Structure 1
């Protein structure tokens, strides 16, 4: 069947995406790249996520967690299927999160990473200290993981 509908779309995540999101992020959780999230947490926080879907398959996801009192937000759980990592999907997910942040009057994004510092720098983020995080997020920082902190104005 020929259709004018795009096979690929970037959109807000829906509850029925959770299974595909788990398939995408579980290997990254297992190797320590991402912090562990279970199905229940993803379902509870689904409104924070965007996904890239191709013909019903989730190829990427990212979450935006606002800290309204600080006018900042955390970009988290950014993941792209390995075979699509050079296709610009991470950048597209970041752009969607930035656009959403602007509609919420967010002034800066922050991200924590143990493995992708080079990618965040290439996207215009600047390295920062843990003390630059909102107070509420500082209290949750996992010193054992040793994540690097990156900030970006939006």
Structure 2
């Protein structure tokens, strides 16, 4: 039931190239990876978490907030929630790939690094054409 709301949040950012395109079928199969932020029953933000248990790390992906709710701390709420969820899973550090929002994440303790810092299976999926920057943050 959250998929239409997720799509309304992420599709504009996909169109801008800020997020990687995710189709409805993918969202439906990976819905358990997503956390949504609701306001008056409407999805206004989301974030996904993809754990890599062998490496004790997780990918933070698809952090997005509807434009009219930005600059109100909603992204920080999502980030905080996903970090706590990751800690509960035994994750030692979060990583993310960002084509546009690197400064926002850097202001929140993420450090830019290289593709070499990604888990091997994630390195294989890295899209060099997007030229996304890799950021890492230890969870302590």
Give the structure 1 partner of residue 57 of structure 2: 72
Q: 1:40 aligns with which of 25, 29, 35?
A: 25
| Structure 2 unaligned blocks of 5 or more | none
* Alignment partners' CA distance in 1, 2:107 and 2:69: 18
Aligned to 1:121: 106
Match of 2:116 in 1: 131
Deviation by residue 1:99-142 (Cα, 9 ceiling, x = unmatched): 11011000000010010011000110001010011001000000
Structure 2 CA distance for aligned equivalents of residues 44 and 94 of structure 1: 22
Is the partner of 1:139 in helix, strand or coil?
helix
RMSD: 0.6
Structure 1 unaligned blocks of 5 or more: 1-15
Residues 1:150 and 2:122 are matched in the alignment: no
Q: Quick one: which of 10, 23, 38 aligns to 1:25?
A: 10
> How many angstroms apart in 2 are the aligned matches of 1:136 and 1:111?
14
**Residue 56 (structure 1) shift:** 1.3
Which structure: larger Rg? 1
TM-score by length of 2: 0.98
How far is 1:31 from its partner?
Answer: 1.1
State whether structure 2 residue 125 is matched by structure 1 residue 140. yes
